[in-house]
Amino acid sequence: MKIPDLTNYEHLIGGLCGGVTSTVVCHPFDLLKIRFSANEGSSLRPQYSSYADAVRKIVRVEGVRGLYQGWTPSLIGASLSWGLYFQWYNSLRTKIYENFSTGSKLANNLISGCISGSAIMCITNPIWLTKTRLCLQYENQQSKKYAGMMDCLKKTVKQEGFFGLYRGFVTGVIGTTHGAVQIAAYSWIIDKRCQSQGLPKDSFLSQTDYVIASSTSKVLATTITFPYQVLRTRMQDHNTDSRGVWKTTLKTIHNEGIGGLWKGCLIANVRQLPAAVVTFLTYENVKRLVGMTKQI
């Protein structure tokens, strides 16, 4: 049986596989990042002295399964987001290069990343909202408000209306700068590496090159843009009534200082660094395999 030519969807398929793989491997880190970002010291939440202490307390009450709360929407959201992001980003930047060839490549990459990310956020914000709320159902609560992803979606619409699914949307759109910085830096590093080796653009490089490019771009993007993640988490948290980007920002700074906007940044880098490496390594290798279908 002849394998169909899937090269037009190589970025989509590579991104889908990358999102799935990174979520399976790294979701517990994501759970910890969300909980530390949301923690403003309220007595409603369990207080953890460290990341290791958080793991111990969660596992003691709920078992290892407790570290995978919010796993379903995370799996769906990550695979969908990365698949569409890589597909749309590469299509858009190609069109921009064709029409504005004299412009800066880095600027074009940033623009492509922001536009692609904003479009995807319109689709996936409800998924990320359910992930956040499921991750913030604590082990010290006598009963859980949500039984799962679909139950969370239904109750959110019933109690807050349809637009309740888009709480944190503005910060999410602002957060597209994170993906834009990451993908622009990654593309720039890969392009420079191809040039230094005298290879055509988008040539398949060594695994080490992809590890260095993905880790460097991820740490840079996470650290620079992290405050949006804190604000978004707090605005989507069902345990509090944080509304409005500006109001939440001022409240955070007033109560916790400017450092409060980077709360959870360390675990975010710990979580997102391996996730980024896994995502991009999977993406590049799957994309290469899909590209081979054109030769079959």
Our separate counts of H helices and E strands in the chain read 11, 0
Cβ partners under 8 Å of residue 161, min gap 6:
none
Delimit the domains of the chain by residue range.
7-294
Reply yes or no on whether the pLDDT at 91 is more than 70. yes
**What pLDDT sits at residue 296?**
52
**What pLDDT sits at residue 143?**
80
pLDDT band, residue 293 (cuts 50/70/90)? confident
Reply yes or no on whether the pLDDT at 140 is more than 80. no
Distance CA 84, CA 119 (A): 10
**What pLDDT sits at residue 267?**
76
Distance CA 36, CA 268 (A): 10
Give whole-number Cα distances, 73 to 20, 121, 133, 171, 247, in Å. Answer: 11, 14, 10, 19, 28
Domain 7-294 has CATH 1.50.40.10: yes
Report pLDDT digits (tens) over 219-260: 989 888 888 888 887 877 777 776 677 888 888 888 888 888
Distance CA 245, CA 132 (A): 17
Report pLDDT digits (tens) over 93-106: 888 877 765 567 77
Report pLDDT digits (tens) over 50-75: 888 999 999 998 899 889 988 999 99
Distance CA 35, CA 251 (A): 18
pTM for the model stands at 0.75
Residue 262, CB-side half-sphere exposure with 13 Å CA sphere: 10
**What pLDDT sits at residue 122?**
93
Give whole-number Cα distances, 236 to 49, 91, 165, 179, in Å. Answer: 24, 32, 9, 20
Distance CA 24, CA 12 (A): 19
Averaged pLDDT of the chain: 86
Cβ atoms within 10 Å, residue 285 = 16
Report pLDDT digits (tens) over 145-199: 898 999 999 999 999 999 999 988 888 888 788 888 888 889 889 988 998 998 8
